[in-house]
Chains A and B, each alone.
Chain A
Amino acid sequence: MHLIIATVILMDYEELGLKIGLEIHQQLNTDEKLFCPCPCELTDKKPDYKVLRNLRPTQSELGKIDRAAFEESRRKLQFIYEAYKDETCLVELDEEPPHPLNREALKLSLIIASLLNMNVVDEFHTMRKQVIDGSNTGGFQRTGLVATAGYMDTEYGRVSIENLCLEEDAARRIGQKKGKVVFRLDRLGIPLVEITTDPSMKHPQQVKEVAYQIGQVLRSTKVKRGLGTIRQDLNISIRDGARVELKGVQDLDLMPNMVENEVKRQINLVGIMKELQSRNANVVDEIYDVGELLKDTESKIISKAILEGGSVLAIKLEGFSGLIGREVQPGRRFGTELAGYAKKMGVSGLFHTDELPAYGVTQQEVDAVSKFLKLDENDAFILVADEGEKARNALLEVLRRAKTAIKEVPEETRKATDDANSEYLRPLPTASRMYVETDIPTAKISRAYLKRIQENLPELPDEKQARIIQEYSLSEDLAHQLVRRNRAAEFEEIMGSSGLDSTTVASTMAYTLKELKRDGKAISKLTVDCLKETFNLVEEGKITKEAVQEVLVGVCDGKSSPEDAARDLNLIMLSEEEVESVIEGIISSNSEMIEERGMGAMGALMGKAMAKLKGKADGKLVNKLLRNKLQNK
């Protein structure tokens, strides 16, 4: 425990040689997918049909099978793809070669690259990046390098943007069915940009800042918004550790914690490594069958495996005792790391001596296994109970990981978890995953075309906010909301043709629409033209400002135009004569009160009049008319 507390307090990132890099994946909001004309929308519809496929690793361009690809293949997974007759086509199913590159997506990626001060390549080559976890039907993701060597200035200094790639999104993992992973093809092929910084960030807070700023740049262009449309990965290493990629960091606020926890993990793994080396630790390269020793066990997992004809297998780790239970991240032990590797082979977990006796395994059984394996007091064993080949493969993985633990911190791809920890996913891929996509012609990017794009770059969100505050005398809050909700352009368009005060228009755009959306109203009916018409009604004195929201609700609910809605909802303002006659009516039916109180009846009568005229007459006018009538009585 001491070790952990000490590291938390003493973490000096510079001393540790912390290096952080950031990778952001952002879906583009194009009309079509990157290599086929299907829509870029996810669907919850029941799939029209399902297709069963296998993937096998192949030679890559350099004739080497990639390490990560090889490991995936050993799991021998089969995949089920959910497909649609209308929403997906043969391209996603790998039943048809890709169509030529989507030019809109390429253009968007050039805009983003330019906003990030990057150098755009002369000729774009589409590559195949081998991914044989089934998330791509072809067994590779199509991707290409768009730009390099850009930068972004932050309050922590300048950060280099290394690469920007345009690639296709992967299929959506839906679940697992009889050992086969099920993917849906709706997401496969949606264009993404992948933005990678160099690993020069040195402070956990800086990553968050950079992620935020890149997010701002992305939001100024035609990108998708909402959950799952942007994904962040972190690359983290310390000097004595190794490069680790944390995949799927959702929450920007969690990023600094994530970095801290990974640094802790690497420090603790280095600690364990040194301890193992000083103990002369050794991993015995053999898998023992200990089923006979545990045949009467009360452990449910073990007895179930035996009952189903599986095996109980063990390995011996010399000099590992006490270290397997050591914590490496809050709530996660070195044993959890080993289990992560075992789980990749399909077993549900493992038992290790540092946690036994437990889970129904008795001390006598531990002793029996220890005796059988000739365990020393410094030694540990690990047990896996499952179907024979699965258990063996799982332990082979654990052996590999345990051997590495004596030598170094392994380079890994890990999955970020919600508690800012991470779990093992696969080894870091090597460069040999890439080979050229032969079905797609290369795309030249002419400097003239690039120049046109760079002369018409969109305004960044911060710039836009500052400008509309100035130009329309908006409050900072309203301006911020308009920019954040991507309503600024519409706001400006409406202001161009409306004489109404900017605050009324802005607050309608920023807040009223949000409320209507929250209430489940069909706000897609509220086009810019429809909003313009509504504001015109206010300007022409046909409705009051207060009636705007009700009119908009009316339009959402199916009334054809704002004016129709106002009429149907009885919100059209009355003419002065009509108001006068209403007031006369009130006066005559309250003549007794007026006799008694004279001008003193003003307050009560005003109340009655407004109850009757609310939303149909301006309060000032009612007040004026009523006062006149009473005075002249």
Chain B
Amino acid sequence: MSYRGASKQFLDSQNVSIGDKIRITKKDVFYEGMVLDRAEDADDEHVVLKMASGYNMGVNITDSRIELLEKGEKPEIELPPVDVERDNHKKDISIISTGGTVASIIDYKTGAVHPAFTADDLLRATPELLEHANVRGEAILNILSENMKPEYWVKTARSIADEINNGAYGVVVAHGTDTMHYTSAALSFIMDTPVPVVLTGAQRSSDRPSSDAFWNLMGSIAAAKSDVAEVTVCMHAEEDDPACYLHRGTKVRKMHTSRRDTFRSINTEPIARIQNGNLKLNKNMDYKKRDYKRREESEVVLHDDLESKVALVKSYPGISAEILDLYVDRGYRGIVIEGTGLGHCPDYLIPAVSRATDSGIPVVMASQCLYGKVNMNVYSTGRELLSAGVISALDMLPETAYVKLVWTLGQTDNNEEVKKIMQTNLKGEIESRSSKKFFLI
């Protein structure tokens, strides 16, 4: 119970707890209702009541009298257990839940949307998934995606590997949307997967009828059953409901704070479009050239050593060189600069950059333009940055470049090797060709 101070005393005076039915009498009016919990950050002068009409209201307790009418139980969210019977004609798909909006429900503690669903709850809420696959759920984390960190990427990758090794035909990862593209990039580098690994989430919480979670999950199940054995992100393609895009995990980014179709492929096109459970590969994909990695019978391989002391620094007018110095002084192992334009930062930063590279700290340059490729040969600042040893991230997204550096530094200590790995296309993160089609789609 998060009542405190005066309101807690008020409730305690009649031994009232959450869920009890009470009457509060004031000078001109009285209110009867069930006591609900109050947000932790709210004041201590009000008690929240749920009236018989279903409405909530806050009653100021000043000059009020409280009476306990009926002891109640704190309402619990209860759902009947799902009875999953395995169907030999259907594929086995695992859903791994990490928390976030795709798996969340209203919480009484704060009155806010909280990631509190187990993977089983997810199935209870969307039993239709079982029509398309034998779905096994596993909740490995229960965090908002802004709280993700590299060690959780490893934990997630290992759980996915377990599912695959236990025979999963494909794996869906339910993930909060804020940092989903970091996780998808991380999993791409950490895992060599023989089956599809699909990340999905929701922009509208799953407690509401209009949630996009259902179609995103349906699309993800279809993707997990497909031939695309890569780490991908499956989210709404448009503001409209049934259609989703399947994005390559290393070339996707959250581009809108709230729209359903927030995830966009950057500097490439989505691999596929999924509508009503039917996956249609992008017709521009060249199958002969194996534009995507296909399902295979091999074991899953993990390369899960990471170096988490890597910084992602955005360049901006007025930035101080102290910022780079700080990371060097604090023992950071790598720095990604999200530069301006073709890959620049103010020229007065170059000594600090040199200091970093001279100390054996790789410095990678990506662009805050997001669209297009870094090219430091065009302007003098760029050329000076190159001479200072800066590694171009080419057309990698800054977030992908950051994740890749975290991963690369876990694989090798050799800086020549780091540069080579950073500039080699491993998991579709680097597209050598540019195209008109890749901008603002």
A and B assemble together:
yes
A residues in contact (CB < 8 Å) with B: 51-59, 61-63, 69, 78, 90, 93-97, 119, 121-125, 127-130, 132, 137-140, 143-145, 148-149, 163, 165, 431-436, 438, 442, 444
Q: Which of B48, B53, B59 contacts A431 (CB 8 A)?
A: B53
| 9 pairs of A and B residues whose beta carbons are closest in the complex | A139-B209, A123-B58, A434-B54, A122-B60, A431-B54, A119-B29, A145-B55, A125-B56, A52-B240
The residues in B between 253 and 312 inclusive whose CB is less than 8 angstroms from any CB of A are: 257-260
For A144, what are the chain B residues with a Cβ–Cβ distance below 8 Å? Answer: 55
Do B75 and A63 touch across chains, with their CB atoms under 8 A apart? yes
B55 touches A95 (CB 8 A): no
Tell me what chain B mostly uses at the interface: helix, strand, loop, or mixed. loop
Known: A52-B240, A63-B77, A431-B52. 8 other contacts (CB 8 A): A53-B210, A53-B241, A94-B204, A121-B58, A129-B54, A140-B208, A149-B29, A431-B54
- B110: nearest residue on chain A (CB-CB)? A438
Q: Which residue of chain A is the closest to B41 with respect to CB atoms?
A: A441
CA distance A53 to B112 in the complex (A): 25
B51 within 8 Å of A (CB atoms): yes
Smallest CB-CB separation from B46: which chain A residue?
Answer: A123
Contact with A124, one of B57, B204, B239 (Cβ below 8 angstroms): B57
A8 to B240, CA, bound (A): 53
Chain A residues with Cβ below 8 Å from B112 are 438
Known contacts A125-B48, A139-B210; decide if A52 and B241 are in contact (CB<8 Å). Answer: yes
What are 27 A-B contacts with C-beta separation under 8 Å? Answer: A51-B240, A53-B241, A58-B207, A59-B207, A61-B106, A63-B77, A63-B78, A90-B258, A94-B210, A95-B239, A95-B259, A96-B257, A96-B258, A121-B59, A122-B58, A123-B46, A123-B60, A124-B58, A129-B54, A139-B210, A143-B55, A145-B51, A149-B28, A432-B54, A436-B56, A442-B58, A444-B46
Residue of B48, B75, B209, B258 near A56 (CB, 8 A) is B209
Q: Are A125 and B57 in contact (CB under 8 A)?
A: yes
Q: Does B113 contact A (CB under 8 A)?
A: yes
Determine the distance from Cα of A94 to Cα of B55 in the docked complex, in whole angstroms. Answer: 22
Residue on B nearest A143 in the bound complex, by CB = B55
Write out the residue numbers on chain B whose beta carbons fall within 8 Å of the beta carbon of A90: 258-259
Q: Does B189 contact A (CB under 8 A)?
A: no
**Would B111 and A58 count as touching, CB distance under 8 A?**
no
- B44-74: which have CB < 8 Å to A? 46, 48, 50-60
Given known pairs A63-B78, A139-B209, A435-B106, the reply for A58 and B54 (CB within 8 Å) is: no
B241 contacts across to A, CB distance below 8 A? 52-54, 78
Measured between beta carbons, the chain A residues less than 8 angstroms from B46 are 122-123, 444
Q: Contact partner of A163 among B53, B106, B215, CB < 8 A?
A: B53
Cross-interface CB contact of A59 among B59, B77, B111, B258, cutoff 8 Å: B77
The residue of chain A having its C-beta at the shortest distance from the C-beta of B61 within the complex is A122
Task: Indicate which residue in B55, B113, B215 contacts A127 across the interface (CB closer than 8 Å).
Answer: B55
Contact A442–B210 (Cβ < 8 Å): no
**Residues of B contacting A436 in the complex (Cβ-Cβ under 8 angstroms):** 56, 106, 111
The answer to whether B82 has its CB under 8 Å from any CB of chain A is no
The verdict on B214 contacting chain A, using a C-beta distance below 8 Å, is yes
The listed residue (B53, B60, B78, B215) touching A54 by CB distance below 8 A is B215
The answer for the CA separation of A61 and B75 in the assembled complex, in Å, is 9
A63: B residues at CB distance < 8 A? 75-79
Which chain A residue shows the least CB distance to B26?
A: A119
Taking CB atoms, residues of chain B closer than 8 Å to A143 are 55
B346 within 8 A of partner (CB): no
Task: Please give, as numbers and ranges, the residues of chain A lying within 8 Å of B57 by CB-CB distance.
Answer: 121-125, 145
For B, the interface residue count at a CB cutoff of 8 angstroms equals 46
Query: Using Cβ atoms and an 8 Å threshold, which residues of chain B touch A78?
Result: 241
Q: Report whether B209 and A55 are in contact in the complex, using a CB–CB cutoff of 8 Å.
A: yes
Instruction: Determine the chain A residues whose CB is within 8 A of the CB of B28 once the complex forms.
Output: 119, 149
CB of B391 within 8 A of chain A?
A: no
Which residues of B have CB within 8 Å of A432?
54
Interface centre among A58, A119, A165 (most CB of B within 10 A): A58
Task: Tell me, in angstroms, the Cα distance from A63 to B241 when the chains sit together.
Answer: 25
- B6 interface residue per 8 A CB criterion: no
Q: For B215, list chain A residues within 8 Å (CB).
A: 54
Given the complex of chains A and B, what is the CA–CA distance between A125 and B47 in angstroms? 12
Within 8 Å CB of B78, what residues of A?
63
User: What chain B residues lie within 8 Å of A96 (beta carbons)?
Assistant: 257-259
Interface contact B242-A434, CB-CB below 8 Å: no
C-alpha spacing A127/B113, complex, angstroms: 14
Chain B nearest CB, measured from A148 CB (Å): 7
| Residue of B whose beta carbon sits closest to that of A162 | B53
Q: Are B242 and A52 in contact (CB under 8 A)?
A: yes
Question: Is A51 a contact partner of B125 (Cβ separation < 8 A)?
Answer: no
The reply on B441 being an interface residue by CB < 8 A is no
Q: Which listed residue (A53, A94, A438) contacts B106, Cβ 8 A?
A: A438
Q: Which residue of B lies closest to A446 (CB)?
A: B60
Complex Cα distance, B51 from A431, in Å, reads 9
Interface assignment of B42: CB less than 8 Å from any CB of chain A:
yes
Give chain B residues whose Cβ lies under 8 Å from the Cβ of A438. 106, 111-113
Q: Is the CB of B56 within 8 A of A59?
A: no
User: What CA separation (Å) do A90 and B256 show in the bound complex?
Assistant: 12
| A315 shortest CB reach to chain B, Å | 28
In the bound complex, do residue A53 and residue B240 qualify as a contact, i.e. CB atoms below 8 Å apart?
yes
A161 to chain B, nearest CB (A): 13
Task: Contact check, B209 vs A140: say whether CB atoms are below 8 A apart.
Answer: yes
Verify if B211 is at the interface (C-beta below 8 Å from A): yes
Residue ID in chain A nearest B54 by CB atoms:
A434
Q: Which residues of B contact A128 (CB under 8 A)?
A: 208
Distance in Å from the Cβ of A147 to the closest Cβ of chain B? 9
Q: Is the CB of B55 within 8 A of A125?
A: yes
Closest B-chain residue to A146, C-beta based? B57
Q: Is the CB of A58 within 8 A of B59?
A: no
Contacts of B238 in A (CB 8 A): 51
B221 to chain A, nearest CB (A): 16
Could you tell me the distance in whole angstroms from the C-beta of A366 to the nearest C-beta in chain B? 40
Q: Hey, which chain B residues are within 8 Å of A56, CB to CB?
A: 209, 211, 214
Beyond A62-B75, A63-B78, A122-B59, is A138–B53 a contact (Cβ under 8 Å)?
no
Provide the bound-state CA to CA distance between A110 and B206, in Å. 34
- Report A-chain residues with C-beta under 8 Å of the C-beta of B53: 145, 163, 431, 434
B contact residues around A149 at 8 Å (CB):
28-29
**Nearest-CB residue, chain B, relative to A442:** B58
Residue numbers in A under 8 Å from B105 (CB-CB): 59
Is B332 positioned at the interface, with any CB of A under 8 Å from its CB?
no
Which residues does chain B contribute within 8 Å of A52, judged by CB atoms? 240-242
Most chain A CB neighbours (cut-off 10 Å) among B76, B113, B238, B258: B258
Nearest neighbor of A123 in chain B, beta-carbon distance: B58
Over the window 102-119 of chain B, the binary record of Cβ atoms lying under 8 Å from chain A Cβ atoms (1 yes, 0 no) is: 000110000111000000
Q: From residue A489, how far is it (CB to closest CB) to chain B in Å?
A: 32
B371 contacts partner chain A, Cβ-Cβ < 8 Å: no
**CB proximity of B290 to chain A, nearest CB, Å:** 34
Contacts A97-B258, A125-B57; is A442 near B208 (CB within 8 Å)? no
Which of chain B's residues 158-215 have a Cβ closer than 8 Å to chain A? Answer: 204, 206-211, 214-215
CB distance from B58 to the nearest CB of A (A): 3
- How far, in Å, is B235 (CB) from chain A's closest CB? 13
Asked if B77 and A442 make an inter-chain contact with CB atoms under 8 angstroms apart, the answer reads no
Q: Which residues of B in the span 28-43 have a Cβ within 8 Å of any Cβ on A?
A: 28-29, 31, 42
A residues in contact with B106, CB < 8 Å: 61, 435-436, 438
Q: Which residues of A contact B79 (CB under 8 A)?
A: 59, 63
Contact of A138 (CB < 8 Å), options: B31, B75, B209, B259: B209
User: Are A95 and B54 neighbours in the complex by a CB distance under 8 Å?
Assistant: no
Closest to B38 in A: A442
- In the assembled complex, how far is the CB of residue B86 from the closest CB belonging to chain A, in whole angstroms? 25
Cα distance, A600 to B125, chains bound together (Å)? 101
Determine the residue in chain A with the shortest Cβ distance to B60.
Answer: A122
Interface centre among B28, B57, B206 (most CB of A within 10 A): B57
Contacts of B211 in A (CB 8 A): 56, 58
A595 to chain B, nearest CB (A): 90
Which residues of A sit under 8 angstroms from B58, Cβ to Cβ? 121-125, 442, 444
Q: A510 to B214: give the CA distance in the assembly, Å.
A: 58
B54: A residues at CB distance < 8 A:
127, 129, 431-434
